[in-house]
Amino acid sequence: MLELHLSEAEKQLLLVLGRAERRGLPPDRPSLVRLAEFELGAPLDWTDAYTSLQQRALIHCDNGHVHLTKRGERTRAEIHRQAPYWRYIYDRVYAEAKGSTAHALFCERVYGRDLGQQGMADMEQLQVLIDVLDLEAGYRVLDLGCGCGRIAEYISDQSGAHVTGVDISPVGIRQARAHTKEKRDRLTFQVGNIQRLDLDANSFDRVLLVDTLYFCSARAVIEQVKRLVAPGGRAGILFSQWIPPDKGRGSASKTQLRPEGTLLARALRASGLTFWTWDFCAQEIAHWTHKLDVLVKLGPAFEAEDKLWLYEYRLDETKSHTRTLGRHTRSRYLYYVPL
């Protein structure tokens, strides 16, 4: 039986250990702290966690290095399924972005309006999503992976629909509730894992997934959506597919970029669902090129605000994605799914 009755410090240490192993970093205590400080901000105090996890045989220490045991790795994997490592990263992103003029300007220049965006959906794509789903007042809409809630708020403002937002980040949800407190009649937010939703069946008319399915099992989320949406409902999913540079560019890889060949398309078919798509492939390529240009120009503004971590986080993400730019390496579609 897995050891899941752990303190937050114990869980965090196990997740950071797993992260270090997967990145090939040395698992000594100073290196683990540096990794946590860089990605998560100030880590929790792990002093007691080292001792307690070793007593539970979840880690073992050898010549100053800390390693997960087999039991510890199984526990780490289960913790990650319930509260993933990147939850801590997004907690920090939302905390750092709050009140940042540089980040607001970055979002405005990249996406067309500052909604605290983290994905690739600009205002044009959001409008197509609203139009395709025919959103209007009275509809019950579920926004999975809502982040800080500003896209959900915008969609509700535009359509009059009641939107429930769910996200894994407690910081993001706190911000969403704070800036929509005057709109509680049509906006609701809660912390939750979108693969394990504690919501009533058939309780929504529409579901939105805006650049959400890269962090989880698409099939698991789709099965959740099927349960939650009332008969006759619809889902709108904005999804990008890319081929890593080391995976080649042959015909099989190109097939994965077509609307019917993406990971999402395969998951939808496996769940017995049909779909229609809108092509945003050209916009996807332009997005990353433009984003890199905007970030380079805004570097001094982030530095002046002492927001270099946030700047470097967004810059590293952008540089990573620009390595896979090209007509035969990336694609993006809006999937319209009858349920």
Digit-coded pLDDT (tens) for 12-47: 999 999 999 988 898 899 999 999 888 888 788 999
Q: Taking the CB of residue 327, how many other CB atoms lie within 10 A of it?
A: 11
Distance (Å, rounded) from C-alpha 20 to C-alpha 337? 38
CA 144 to centroid of chain Cα atoms: 10
What pLDDT is attached to residue 315? 95
Phi, psi of 261 (to 5 degrees): -110, 0
Record the tokens describing residue 68, joined without a space: 């997960």
Record the tokens describing residue 187, joined without a space: 């906006």
Model pTM? 0.88
Note the pLDDT tens digit of each residue in 263-284.
999 999 999 999 999 999 999 9
Q: Which residue has the higher pLDDT, 111 or 245?
A: 111
What pLDDT is attached to residue 251? 55
What pLDDT is attached to residue 42? 79
Choice among 32-46, 58-72, 188-202, 314-328 with the minimum mean pLDDT: 314-328
CA 316 to centroid of chain Cα atoms: 16
What pLDDT is attached to residue 1? 44
The answer to whether residue 123 scores a pLDDT higher than 60 is: yes
The mean pLDDT value for 38-61 works out to 90
- Which residues lie below 8 Å from residue 85, measured CB to CB, with a gap of 6+? 15, 16, 18, 19
**Top CATH class, 8-82:** mainly alpha
Helices (H) and strands (E) in the chain, counts: 14, 9
- Tell me if 8-82 shares its fold with 95-285+319-338: no
The CATH code for residues 95-285+319-338 is 3.40.50.150
Choice among 64-78, 101-115, 239-253, 293-307 with the minimum mean pLDDT: 239-253
Share of the chain above pLDDT 70, in %: 95
Q: Taking the CB of residue 55, how many other CB atoms lie within 10 A of it?
A: 9
The answer to whether residue 247 scores a pLDDT higher than 70 is: no
Domain extent listing, the chain: 8-82, 95-285+319-338
Distance (Å, rounded) from C-alpha 198 to C-alpha 170? 16
Choice among 48-52, 85-89, 159-163 with the minimum mean pLDDT: 85-89
Q: Which burial class, exposed, middle or buried, applies to 149 when counting CB atoms under 10 A from its CB (0-12, 13-18, 19+)?
A: buried
Q: Bridge-partner residues for 188, per DSSP?
A: 164
Q: Which residue has the higher pLDDT, 63 or 313?
A: 313
- Which residues lie below 8 Å from residue 102, measured CB to CB, with a gap of 6+? 298, 301, 302, 304, 305, 307, 311
